[in-house]
Amino acid sequence: MYEDLGVRSPNMKGFYLNMDYKKSFYNNIMWHEGQAYLWNTLSGALIRLDADALMFLEKYDGTDQSGNAYYDLFRKNGCIVPEKLNETNQVLLQEKTAILNPNQPVLHFTVAPGLGCNYNCVYCFEKHMASRPAMTEETQRDTVDYILRLAEGNPSLKYLMIRWFGGEPLLYMDAVCRMSERLIDWCDTHHVQYYAETITNGRFLTAENAEKLKKARVQFVQLALDGMPEQYMRLKRASREDFDAVIENIAGSAGILPIHVRINVTDQYEDVLALTHYLLKEKKLEHKVKICLAHVRNYDNASGEEETARHRSFMAFEEKFISLFGADGPYSADSLAFHVPRRQPANCYKICSFNYCIGPEGELYRCEHHFGMKDRTVGSIYEGNRFSDQELRLAEYRHPEKCRTCRILPVCLSGCLVYSGLAMACEELKKHHFLLLMKNCRRS
């Protein structure tokens, strides 16, 4: 049995006649509950192996065995490939193509209509800011003009995707609605599919604002919580009134917009469990919202054994957490959201060609973590891309040797290139990705 993720090797029988073959470098034999699986991280194939299939793969000698059921299955799913194919170079060159190609079918923009926020979270990556500007109406107009110029110049465009960011974007609802109206009108006229999402702390996600976002075709809201009231107040420097208002906003908006409650995880695991129970059972939000976890990383001290240990600990907790959802746990499977590991053309869409993060003064960045850092801008909506040294470093980035020789490179791609020193518990990450993949198969 295998899950078809839609990636196949070319069906070029004539070209492949009399060719030698080999097992794909990106084959990973994984064991789960006593069952062997073959996971190919390049093609995306996931195949449950019986004893004969496992033996065939182990003893495969590189010859063309067309007509053999196991051989045909593995060839079809990219687990047996031409002997001369350099799969690692394929991954790396396709990544460069994704980064540098200006005519991708999807354009992504992360737009911050303002950097003001009603909270002052202790872990916020924007806490360095000396000022928190907001977009003027003129800059809003110019921002939309810039986005549409790039869209009009892309003959391959099929999707325009906007992520409303901040600060707290719902402080700037008028700007969001105003810009959305023009973007939507252009997409409808040019038969381009429009998609938008919002990242919010939820304090202003009233039912009224949820209706406005729905009209602005926001199809997904990610709302950040930090734990039960004591933890929430400590990390957000907020009040109990703030916590209660956010919970009521979630309940009041859940029937209007899809809401993912992102629980920011430091090291207070018991608090995460308590909040999950509170939301889904006590507030009766099961089936109405989805819960996901986000590990709060220490970006100021990103490398070293301490941060690696924190990453390892979080992955172990997340595996236990997702086991609470589904037939074997107290919560329904449809109340869980998590990243499903799959092959990525580039490790972050924001580093690709014309995909930018746009700040409230029209400045362009490659990462939302850089909002407000003038030395991290790569251009502006007025001058375009300056082709800075930062841009060149991203284009010329060479993956570490340990990543180039790793069998999950197509899924991980070395992690974040902007924070390339961010500590990762790599050995555990492979197993963690596989367990997330298995969880997704079970619920689908």
- The model's pLDDT over 49-89, given as tens digits with 9 standing for 90+, comes to 999 999 999 999 999 999 999 999 999 999 999 999 999 99
The residue with tokens 């990525």 is 344
**Alpha-helical regions (H) of 101-136:** none
What the block records as the tokens of 52 is 């004969």
27 beta partners: 40
What is the model's pLDDT at position 300? 64
Q: Which of 131-145, 213-227, 309-323, 427-441 has the weakest average pLDDT?
A: 427-441
For the chain, how far is it from start to end, CA to CA, in angstroms?
14
**143-152, 305-314, 372-381 — most confident range:** 143-152
Count Cβ neighbours within 10 Å for each residue of 156-191 and write b for 16 or more, e otherwise. ebeebbbbbbbbbbbbbbebbebbbebbbebbeeee
pLDDT at res. 422: 63
| Average pLDDT of every residue of the chain | 90
**DSSP bridge partners of 217:** none
Tokens of 321: 């957490």
* DSSP symbol at 325: B
User: Using 50, 70 and 90 to split pLDDT, how confident is the model at 4?
Assistant: very low
Q: How confident is the model at residue 237 (pLDDT cuts 50, 70, 90)?
A: very high
Instruction: Please give the Cα distance from 208 to 184 (Å, whole number).
Output: 20
Long-range contacts of 189-194 (CB under 8 A, 24+ apart): 190/151, 190/152, 192/151, 192/157, 192/158, 192/159, 192/160, 193/158, 193/159, 193/160, 194/159, 194/160, 194/161, 194/162
pLDDT band at 420 (very low <50, low <70, confident <90, very high): low
Q: What residues have CB less than 8 Å from 422, skipping those under 6 apart? A: 297, 299, 302, 303, 307, 415, 416
User: For residues 262 and 358, what is the distance between their CA atoms, to the nearest angstrom?
Assistant: 23
pLDDT-above-90 percentage for the chain: 70
Confidence of residue 1 (pLDDT cuts 50, 70, 90): very low
330 and 339 Cβ atoms separated by less than 8 Å = no
**How much is the pLDDT for 433?**
86
Residue 15 has pLDDT above 60, yes or no: no
For 398, counting Cβ atoms within 10 Å of its Cβ (0-12 exposed, 13-18 middle, 19+ buried), the class is: exposed
pLDDT band at 6 (very low <50, low <70, confident <90, very high): very low
Instruction: Between 9 and 112, name the one with better pLDDT.
Output: 112
Q: Across residues 14-20, what is the average pLDDT?
A: 61
The rounded distance, in Å, linking the Cα atoms of 384 and 346 is 22
At residue 10 the predicted structure's pLDDT band, cuts being 50, 70 and 90, is very low
Shortest CA distance to 150 belongs to which of 112, 207, 90, 190? 190
CA dihedral 147, 151, 157, 162 (to 10 degrees): 10
Closest CA to 169 of 416, 368, 370, 356: 368
* The token pair that represents 69 in the structure block: 């059921």
What pLDDT was estimated at residue 421?
A: 60
CB crowding 289-326: b at 16 or more within 10 Å, else e: bbbbbeebbeeeeeeeeebbebbbbbbebbeebbebbb
Average pLDDT over residues 398-410: 91
Better pLDDT: 65 or 299: 65
2, 34, 327, 442 from 439: Cα distances, Å:
14, 16, 11, 5
The rounded distance, in Å, linking the Cα atoms of 272 and 231 is 10
Q: Which residue has the higher pLDDT, 427 or 213?
A: 213
For the sheet with 218-225, list strands across it. 290-295, 259-265, 218-225, 193-200, 159-164, 106-111, 356-358, 363-365, 379-380, 384-385
Q: Has residue 417 got a pLDDT over 80?
A: no
Which residues, at least 6 apart from 30, have a Cβ–Cβ distance to it below 8 Å? 36, 37, 38, 39, 431, 434
Q: Does the pLDDT value for residue 5 go beyond 60?
A: no
Band of pLDDT at residue 230, cut at 50, 70 and 90? very high
pLDDT band at 116 (very low <50, low <70, confident <90, very high): very high
Tokens 């004591």 found at: 230
CA pair distance 296, 310, nearest whole angstrom = 10
Q: Mean pLDDT, to the nearest integer, of 10-35?
A: 77
| Predicted model pTM | 0.89
Cα separation of 42 and 85, whole Å? 13
Percent of the chain with pLDDT over 70: 92
What does the pLDDT read at residue 3? 40
